[in-house]
Structure 1
Amino acid sequence: MKIALHGLVFKPEHIPDIDRLFQELEKHQIEILVTEPMDRALKMLGKARHTYWLIENQEDLESVDFLISIGGDGTLLDAVCLIGHLEIPVLGLNTGRLGFLATAVTDRIGEVIENLAYANFQIETRSLISLECSRKLFNGINFALNEFTIHKRDTSSMITVHTYIDGKYLNSYWADGLIVSTPTGSTGYSLSCGGPLITPDTKSFVITPVSPHNLNVRPIIVSDDCEISFEIEGRSEKFLISLDSRSTSISSEIKLSVKKELFSAKLVKLPHFHFFDTLRQKLNWGFDMRN
């Protein structure tokens, strides 16, 4: 078995967890590969003495069975971009706060690796959102696990986003921006802007305005089989668009549309874990707040 490790930045207090992870992988005779960001992070901690192979391009990932993302949800989103169409199953090992995506905890590393080694897990398929535009953007990595966002730049006045579903006019949003979220992303930026929570297996997108001028405008759930296109107007000549944490500035002349990506993200679901468990812990559901 081959397992790739991906991480961005580590603190000194993470050293025992990283050492334990390598020890458990070696105990099960698993071949270890690391991404270039992970290699740099290990060298900064003085942990490059561990035995592993360096992944230098996407072709090196083709023989990998799993990828372990070490960090938070942002690190896992970065890992999904690295994997792309290969659909390698990803496990998020959380070294920070409770995440919706990185759910495995560091104090159970031995149990986590044992479950992988003995195939005691399930694979969740998460849909991705794909951006189509009239100019190449984001270095060709034009998909996201959480959301696509259109936003005004800096402190400029609100923008108008004319929105169409399969070519049919839906609405003109006078707002600071507009979010199109996947079910996975419904727990992120969309949620903070008043969007609904959606279970990961739902086949839909959520269109959520950011600080809309008209208070009667509400988020809407649409099928992920549709194509959503946009025309942007505003006093500024430039606007911001983003795919998860990656953003770039564009002009209103660029044509934009989003739809479901042809490939998907595969997330490892360990035993005794459910999406509802994370919801309750993250949002304090089920707790009597009157005390």
Structure 2
Amino acid sequence: MTVDAHHHLWDIDVRERPWIAGPEMEPLRRDFRPTDLAQALRGTQVDTTVLVQSATDPEEAPEMLVLADSASCIGGVVGWVDLSARAVRGQLADLLSHPAGRWLKGVRHPVAHEPDAEWLTRPEVSRGLAAVEDAGLLFELAVGPEQLPSAIKVVGDFPQLTFVLDHCGRPPIGGDLAGWESSVRRLAGHPNSVCKLAGLATAAGWGGKPEPAELLPCVEVLLDAFGPGRMMFGSDWPVCLLSASYREVLELTSELLGGLPQQDRMSIFDGTARQVYGL
């Protein structure tokens, strides 16, 4: 069986997402609902998924919990709360006490979109991360190379909090990987960090499925840094549709991991995510 540790759902009429802008994003400007997810999963080995936030709106997380309660394949939710708010502990408590609160596994903030590269190290954000830790949740690092240094610091500051690196830290595919690699290896040096092998289909650009040879150097760095036991597959559907279908993302990931022993492949496609998210 396979766990997809990273996908989204949304209803365009309910909530705008400013990041879905420009003509190149046209394929994403429609509703993506549980029925669409079920269609994407049909014929694959994926039996469990993790639904991840796509809007910085406090109303989205409760809606995601309701979706998880009604969709048999969704095994966990990673929502958004305002980490810098003084009321963050109350926000988390409200989500966990929601009738479907058992599905909440973690919190994510799109740090890569923050103009301050040191946003994660702000005192008020540190208070928010402490609240996430106390709530028994994990935190997902939606960061790029510019934010990785601050991510390394907070991962070290909170050794009891599990941090999940989203989208492999957005490696500069086709560019100079040295800075990204150095930061990723430092992050992986903290045992409370894990990595999602997700977002690679669009990492090299949109409009065409990337060649495995373009992505393999990044994957080799991640495998060496984190090891298969701290990596997990994510489709990044429906964002992946800008470059590849759901099935093509699965095939691409399988090809990139083709040289690994079966046990290691099983960890990345199944075991790690079940352990990290408690699925």
TM-score range, shorter chain: under 0.3
TM-score, normalising length: structure 1: 0.25
> Which of structures 1 and 2 has the bigger CA Rg?
1
Which structure shows the higher strand fraction?
1
Which structure shows the higher helix fraction?
2
TM-score, normalising length: structure 2: 0.26
